[in-house]
Copies of this chain bind each other. A is one copy, B any other.
Amino acid sequence: MRFTINREQLVKALGPVSKAVPQKVELPILANVKIELNDKGLEITGSDSNMNIRVTVPYKIGELDVIRNYQYGAVLIGSKILLEVVRRMEGEEVSFELIDGTILRLDDGRSNFKLNSISADEYPEIDLNPVGSVFSIRGDDLLALVEQTAFAASTKEARPVLAAVNLEANNNVLTATATDTARLARKRIEIDNDVHFSVNVPAKKFLDIVHSFEGAEMIEVSISDKKAQFAFNNTIISTRLTNGEYPNTRNIVPKVFNYYLHVNSKEFINAMERVSILSSDRDGVIKLLMSDESVEIISRSATMGSANEKINMYQFEGDRFEISFRASFVSDAIKALRSEDVTICFIGEMKPFVVKNQNDQTIDMLVTPLRS
């Protein structure tokens, strides 16, 4: 294997692949990336065994010869050291040459590195061909879908399926649902392809992945019963799915309410965050006290003291009513709604309540109250 490559393009491609390679690897071979020069360009593949990523550096970008003076081949090389070396080099191009199949020589005309490498045959087989249901979605839409739901997934390992985002497709609608049983977030989006599936994508990984979609025009998504795969620009990312049946949450969101509180998102979030400083020793639980005359947020800590604040901008429909909940659950929900104003709809003191953006019927936000 031999090639001369534009250093900036190589660094740009190596970044996301190296990030996917974990600091501590269970399989030592996965501390390497596989670099393979073939007819598509330089394929750089990384994996942490749950997630795989491949970025391909093409031979040409516009008029720029990105790769030249080459001979096909493949090798494994430590992900961290490769990125560090090419990042610190100063030349516009770097020449790579595999010597005796074991030494990878890097030269930018200034410095010269001979890196110990491993035969490409040692790398696990990674299949990145699209299988299962295939559909297309705008990068920004998929990013929003995940960002507006994944925060509600469980961070605990006890029930792995709750640490995932459920992705369901039916009748040209893609629905993402996340719940840790104390709250739920759901978002629907229309898609052009008539595909049918219901799978669970690990929430934390999903968030990591979708951030790389920012600005990507279209994503080709393929969903099988084993993996979800995303292809865009010169990148393919696949992640393993979480096994297990997702709880049935279809009819969980109530539709009839007894109390409605309309608030300004920013004022309400700021007040909750301030007041909940004094319940940081009780999971940030605050009490909301509503009547025609005033809306007040209250917290109390045995050790620190107490706090209260009256809301200025509000409209309340219903009789005098009070309810307690974890402040961060409601502020997370409000933030995810991305609206200047929101409406919080209550049924009763110990009944789950809904946070709504009146102008967006594609999102559901449900929060369970707590005893104060």
Contacts and interface: CB of A to CB of B under 8 A. Distances in A.
10 contacts: A85-B274, A88-B277, A110-B310, A110-B312, A111-B309, A112-B309, A114-B307, A115-B304, A116-B304, A116-B305
A97 to B, nearest CB: 13
Interface string A102-121: 01000000111111100000
A195 interface: no
Contact of A277 (B81, B278, B307): B81
A309 B89 CA distance: 11
A303 interface: yes
B273 A88 contact: yes
A110 B309 contact: yes
Contacts of A88: 270, 273-274, 277
Contacts of A113: 277-278, 305-307
A308 interface: yes
A39 interface: no
Majority secondary structure of chain A interface residues (helix, strand, loop or mixed): mixed
A111 B271 contact: yes
A274 B304 contact: no
Given A110-B309, A275-B111, A277-B88, A81 B270 contact: no
A84 interface: yes
A73 interface: no
Contacts of A160: none
Given A78-B304, A304-B81, A270 B115 contact: no
Given A113-B278, A278-B113, A103 B273 contact: no
Interface string A256-276: 000000000000001101110
Task: Give the top 10 A-B pairs by smallest Cβ distance, nearest first.
Answer: A111-B309, A115-B305, A88-B274, A113-B307, A116-B305, A114-B305, A114-B306, A112-B308, A84-B277, A111-B274
Nearest to A112: B308
